[in-house]
Amino acid sequence: MTHVEAGGSAAYWNPGSQILWRYRENAGDRIHIARPVTVVRDDGDLLAVWLAPGTECVKPVLTDGTSVHAEPLETRYTKPRTVQRDRWFGTGVLKLARPGEPWSVWLFWEPGWQFKNWYVNLEEPLARWAGGVDSEDHFLDISVHPDRTWGWRDEDEFAQAQRDGLMDERLAARVAEAGRAAVEVIRRWGPPFSDGWQHWRPDPAWSVPALPDDWDRTPAHVST
């Protein structure tokens, strides 16, 4: 996990480097999602990482261990939560993020590398630190299919988060604006959708990254 600060700007990770992709809880500072990933590409235009099947991750759950998404929407964001370690089941995920952009694009496959869809995850622009990148999820998402059709996802969660005070009116407006901007990229079929990432495959020599014990450590330096 080599990361160098030079001249006040963040250096880039080499392909094959193992870092953490993390999310803070909404309306709070605690890290509640941590996923070890392998760097595919990292430069001034794009950070691409691979979340391998079977990776040990950290995810939020209700304090009784119930899955967050098993809880009715009306109380999903108000019941007390904790975090637990778990494994990323199913196929892996390729995550793509452009510097400063308020969303990342995830690629999903069915077993046998049958491409399933792109998923636009609206979020705070990634903040880089020595061990990885941090963000905050913004609930609203967009699913993009191989035939280039698309649709909004989790609009109900986006609305509920506003009702429960997890985002104010100003932030909600900014998220909606980001979503419209992402839709324009989809409609003109700009990067990364046009870049052929659905044909990418991970290096078979890569090991599955381990979840470090200090996965929730506070970054000493953060840059965007």
Residue 10: strand pairing partners: 5
pLDDT 10s digits, 8-50: 345 899 999 999 999 999 988 899 999 999 999 999 999 999 9
> Per-residue pLDDT tens for 119-130?
999 999 999 999
Give the pLDDT score at 219: 84
Judge whether 1 and 212 are in contact, CB under 8 Å.
Answer: no
Beta-bridged to residue 57, according to DSSP, are 86
- Helix (H) or strand (E) run with residue 83 in it: strand 81-87
Taking residue 13's Cβ as centre, other Cβ atoms within 10 Å add up to: 24
Residue 220 has what pLDDT? 64
pLDDT in tens, the chain (224 residues): 333 333 334 589 999 999 999 999 998 889 999 999 999 999 999 999 999 999 999 999 999 999 999 999 999 999 999 999 999 988 999 999 999 999 999 999 999 999 999 999 999 999 999 999 999 999 999 999 999 999 999 999 999 999 999 999 999 999 999 999 999 999 999 999 999 999 999 999 999 999 999 999 988 656 66
**What type of residue is 78?**
T
Dihedral of CA atoms 58, 59, 65, 67 in degrees, nearest 10, equals: -150
Find out whether 88 and 55 touch, Cβ atoms under 8 Å: yes
The whole-number pLDDT of residue 45 equals: 97
H or E element, residue 76 = helix 73-76
- DSSP assignment, residue 137? E
Q: Which residues, 6+ apart, have CB-to-CB distance to 12 below 8 Å?
A: 42, 43, 44
- The rounded distance, in Å, linking the Cα atoms of 45 and 98 is 6
Cα 45 from Cα 58, distance rounded (Å): 28
User: Which domains does the chain carry?
Assistant: 5-199 (2.40.380.10)
Which strand (E) or helix (H) includes residue 119? strand 114-123
CB under 8 Å, gap of 24 or more: what pairs does 220-223 form? 220/129, 220/130, 221/5, 221/129, 221/130, 222/127, 222/128, 222/129, 222/134, 223/9, 223/10, 223/127, 223/128, 223/129
